[in-house]
A and B are shown apart, each in its own frame.
Chain A
């Protein structure tokens, strides 16, 4: 029991500690692929530190929503990330964790961010909020569809139990799982605001989705928001890696040695996935806004097909 609590606490701290490194790594790989030297992977830490020390400037027209939103957003996303196992399945909160709750928490975070974007009354903030809501209205059902098919497969909505099921090897090369993977990748790209949905490095307000909502933020508020985005990226990478490639993860009842192996495995697959994502982002272009519906509709339909195919395999 105490081991479980220990691992849980370590997990919570690991997420926050690792998230900026992962983001920095992605930026480095993208730069190298573009032929540039690129910033050091530790740069996000320095940026965050710098922002935390600066004064937070707030507009006259801002309300309490504007000031509260960064904290609520960060807290919601951090809590959601706590439910997704990274290096071990032997954690205290596992029985309470639920993928649907994760989706709900992500939704909560997005809601508050969107409110904050509209709060000050600038047009770009509103633009970002409306686009974000468009994406959310399509991505959330898709994510739930994926959750549905994963839980049908494994018999539980807890991410830890799903990973245990995949590890146990009962699943073979399931088409249902493959389709769920593709759908989840598409949803992850949308939720974390990467190309082809949103360009995180853009400076042009008219092409922004996520950044537009953060335009008015500065100082520690901006630090919280950036941190939230980084943790969200790590959450999705951990989820995809854990559900579809859970090899090496520490099992319940395992000791420190297993946890160490699990940590190494987790780091390996997270950075590998991050590199793959960077390569993918470099090789395609951002899609136009009116194509979001097609893209995310495709993800939703893939999730639906994953469920249908599950029943096909059952019936055969």
Chain B
């Protein structure tokens, strides 16, 4: 039986993830975007940990750990390094001005609340709240992907969308495979990021391309 305070704390952590989503839309500098994303991942880890505690589901601790280590530490660090190495332009180019983006963001939050709350009348209060928050985070991540030109900010938007999904998954009481899903998502992001960005690094630095070496070796 959830006490009033445990419900409030879950609500608070979920709202922090959402606020971090708004903060992502607000930033004008690339490094600030990456730091804000790290903060959102941290809040997500807290949410997963809290749900693990409240639902008595130990596998959610693993999800919290993944969110913490991978998304709050490794990915921002790696992206910072990439931005420096590739000399990517440090200002965020937006398709829509930041003010309008925020207004659309609030409209999306209102939309998701209006959609989710009537439909989930039978579910537990904690789940409904977190689902509404999670859907808002997903929509904000989508908004960020749509309104940003730069590849790095698009990837951050996608990972923010993913944060929303993990938030929804940990809030759904007793859902199995949450760990597997979060691992799958993380692998997707990691491999694609590094597969594609790595190629760009090689292209830029014009470095050791083995194919050319093989041609000149006289071998077939």
Interface residues of A (CB under 8 A from B): 172-175, 178-179, 293-294, 297-298, 301, 304-305, 308-309, 311-313, 315-316
Contact = CB atoms under 8 A, between A and B. Distances in A.
Contacts of B184: none
B15 interface: yes
B82 interface: no
B12 A175 contact: yes
B117 interface: yes
A41 B139 CA distance: 50
B93 to A, nearest CB: 16
B88 interface: no
10 contacts: A172-B8, A175-B12, A297-B102, A301-B22, A304-B106, A308-B110, A312-B113, A315-B117, A316-B125, A316-B128
- The 10 A-B residue pairs with the shortest CB-CB distance in the complex, in nearest-first order: A173-B8, A175-B15, A316-B125, A172-B8, A297-B99, A301-B106, A315-B117, A175-B11, A294-B98, A301-B102
A174 B125 CA distance: 15
Interface string B1-35: 00011001101100100010010001000000000
Interface string B81-118: 00000000000000000110011011001100100010
B132 interface: yes
A312 B102 contact: no
Given A301-B22, A301-B103, A308 B12 contact: no
A178 B9 CA distance: 12
A304 B129 CA distance: 18
B125 to A, nearest CB: 5
A266 B102 CA distance: 37
A316 B22 contact: no
A294 B94 CA distance: 14
A179 B15 contact: yes
Contacts of B99: 293-294, 297
Given A312-B117, A316-B117, A305 B8 contact: no
B102 to A, nearest CB: 5
B12 A178 contact: yes
Interface string B131-157: 010000000000000000000000000
A315 to B, nearest CB: 5
Nearest to A306: B15
A208 B74 CA distance: 42
Contacts of A309: 15
Contact of A178 (B15, B109, B132): B15
Nearest to B116: A312
Given A294-B26, A308-B110, A316-B128, A173 B12 contact: yes
Most B-side CB within 10 Å, residue of A174, A175, A293, A309: A175
Contacts of A311: 113
Given A298-B22, A305-B106, A311-B113, 10 more contacts: A172-B4, A178-B12, A294-B98, A298-B102, A301-B22, A308-B109, A308-B110, A312-B129, A313-B11, A316-B125
A186 to B, nearest CB: 12
B101 to A, nearest CB: 10
Nearest to A308: B110
A315 B129 CA distance: 10
B154 to A, nearest CB: 21
Contacts of A316: 117, 125, 128-129
B132 A173 contact: no
B106 A312 contact: no
A93 B170 CA distance: 50
Contacts of A293: 99
Contacts of A172: 4-5, 8
Most A-side CB within 10 Å, residue of B19, B125, B128: B19
A173 B14 CA distance: 13
Contacts of B103: 297, 301
